[in-house]
Structure 1
């Protein structure tokens, strides 16, 4: 049997092979994601740097695209704990970066999922060419679609093409306005069938807004997003940045996204950026008790 045989796929994964469901999620298909989810093997989700829509202007994988990957990959980890395909929604997502991202394919490999009833905490690591480039952790509510309403797995079957955008910033298509960075709705941004923006796309927009607001000497060290309400993919999404502390070596930014009413954000976040140069990350495995 091949690794795509239905008998060997984790029973909680939708579809008959790992990539079937991904290719029907517009945001995942647009960024060319693929997945491994065979029982007994590591669960991982990947992006290909050969697709321009996943990259920044320098040809490296964009941190925004990596956030979409981290959101989808950690959800994939939760699927491994389910007895059947069940919908879920992201409550929060945090990614810590280890230096700049490479101009090479990156993967998010899931290391651990902890369940507490309908709550699940999924932890993973972002790697490229065998090197750690980041760590991701996300919490999910199982059994609910965006908005907290009961739902079922999406029955979309159309396989969608990758985005033709020349870079991730163009994939977002956001424009700077006096109100903030505004992204117009597009089918390539959809995650849940509400239709709602993919949580990773929201995180990518907030990251893009944060980085655009600081001096190029600062590099993002981490970002954390809390999702407060469904962001309808039929309406523009506005990202705003509020500097909380600006120092010589570190900047802390508050981020928020809304859809017309700044007093009713659909997501909030915080980003830390530093001027310290990137080093060579080394993973130390400690004894487990």
Structure 2
């Protein structure tokens, strides 16, 4: 597909076909992402559950991989609102889970994007086989690279291969510490060309550290991440877990990430986990104005 075909990409979408741009982003290519972004059709980003690096040790899609998906998919939604390809950075990301993820492909489809000057709020839903598995919302600052510096879309054009990791945990390569986890940088963790860690990879590390700190009887219900500063993909990333409330049915955790100075976190997150058994999620469409 090219921009001269009858079904064109949105003008603000980078590349000449929907998946071209993400295949040049190391973290997205590593997880085998693909996109649909033609005018008049749903804007969706997908993960292939057949790729081991996308899955947990049970063969289901990893929530960490789904966080990388949600971050990239919501950014894709913002691209559709732009007159030409423009860089942006993630300010915050939230995902609500509807039960465990399946051992099947999942997609994140964008529902709406609201622009307020250079700020953009992108909402989407995650599905597998037509069934809801999660919902996401993210806010972006358009026109800036990580760190708030003005930038432009870089000229990366090399199509990168998927990761050969045995599962998502192996893709991250994080090791336990006394109060969290530490992840050493890999080229396939990169998002922005600083090089900086992909926001979804940071989210995946925070999620993995949080889950490792709670009783397996609890299942994560949601996680919200705020990105405070660029996380350079030349330095290790240290995740630290602080339990806030532990009850019989619910646990609330705070998790932060730093790169050497705990007093200067690059990201903070809050996770809620519950013991309630997962139900059968049903989406109810309500009237819209």
TM-score (norm 1): 0.98
Structure 1 partner of 2:53: 53
1:110 corresponds to: 110
- The DSSP-based 3-state class of the residue aligned with 1:162 is coil
Asked whether the 8 Å contact 2:180–2:213 carries over to 1, the reply is: no
Q: Distance in 1 between matches of 2:69 and 2:154?
A: 19
Note if contact 1:225-1:270 (Cα within 8 Å) is conserved in structure 2: yes
Cα distance between partner residues in 2 of 1:194 and 1:119: 22
Matched with 2:214 is 214
CA–CA distance in structure 2, aligned partners of residues 36 and 144 of structure 1: 24
Specify the alignment match of 1:5 in structure 2: 2
The 2-side partners of 1:115 and 1:177 are apart by 40
Specify the alignment match of 1:244 in structure 2: 244
Q: In structure 2, how many angstroms separate the alpha carbons of the residues matched to 1:179 and 1:51?
A: 31
For residue 18 of structure 2, what is the aligned residue in structure 1? Answer: 18
Shift of residue 179, structure 1, vs aligned partner: 5.7
SS in 2 for 1:91: strand
Q: What SS class does the counterpart of residue 24 from structure 2 fall into?
A: coil
Q: Please say if 1:66 is aligned against 2:66.
A: yes
Once residues 124 and 184 of structure 2 are traced to their aligned partners in structure 1, the CA distance between those partners, rounded to angstroms, is 31
Is 1:93–2:93 an aligned residue pair?
yes
CA separation in 1, counterparts of 2:200 and 2:218? 23
TM-score by length of 2: 0.98
Alpha-carbon shift at residue 154 of structure 1 (Å): 1.5
- The alpha-carbon deviation at position 180 of structure 1 amounts to 3.1
Task: Work out the CA distance in 2 between the residues paired with 1:113 and 1:22.
Answer: 20
Shift of 1:32: 0.1
Q: Are 2:216 and 1:205 equivalent residues in the alignment?
A: no
State the alpha-carbon separation in 2 of the partners of residues 165 and 200 from structure 1: 17
Q: Which secondary structure state, in structure 1, belongs to the residue aligned with residue 252 of structure 2?
A: strand
Cα distance between partner residues in 2 of 1:136 and 1:287: 20
Deviation at 1:5, TM superposition (A): 2.9
Structure 1 runs of 4+ with >6 Å offset: none
Contact kept? 1:179, 1:238, Cα under 8 Å:
no
Number of residue pairs aligned between Structure 1 and Structure 2 = 286
Which residue of 2 is the match for residue 155 of structure 1?
A: 155
**SS, match of residue 20 in structure 1:** coil
Q: Secondary structure at the match of 1:284?
A: coil
Matched, 1:130 2:130: yes
Q: CA RMSD in A?
A: 0.6
Q: What are the superposed Cα offsets for residues 154-179 of structure 1, whole Å, 9 maximum, x if unpaired?
A: 21111110000000000000001236
Which ranges in structure 1 are unaligned for 5 or more consecutive residues? none
User: In 2, Cα distance between the equivalents of 1:192 and 1:5?
Assistant: 25
Distance, in Å, in 2 between the alignment partners of 1:143 and 1:89 is: 8
Counterpart Cα distance in 2 of 1:288 and 1:10: 25
- 2:180–2:210 CA contact under 8 A, matched in 1: no
- Counterparts of 1:120 and 1:210, CA distance in 2: 28
Q: Secondary structure at the match of 2:21?
A: helix
**Aligned mates of 1:161, 1:95 — CA distance in 2:** 27
Please report how far the alpha carbon of residue 6 of structure 1 lies from its aligned counterpart in structure 2 after TM superposition. Answer: 1.5
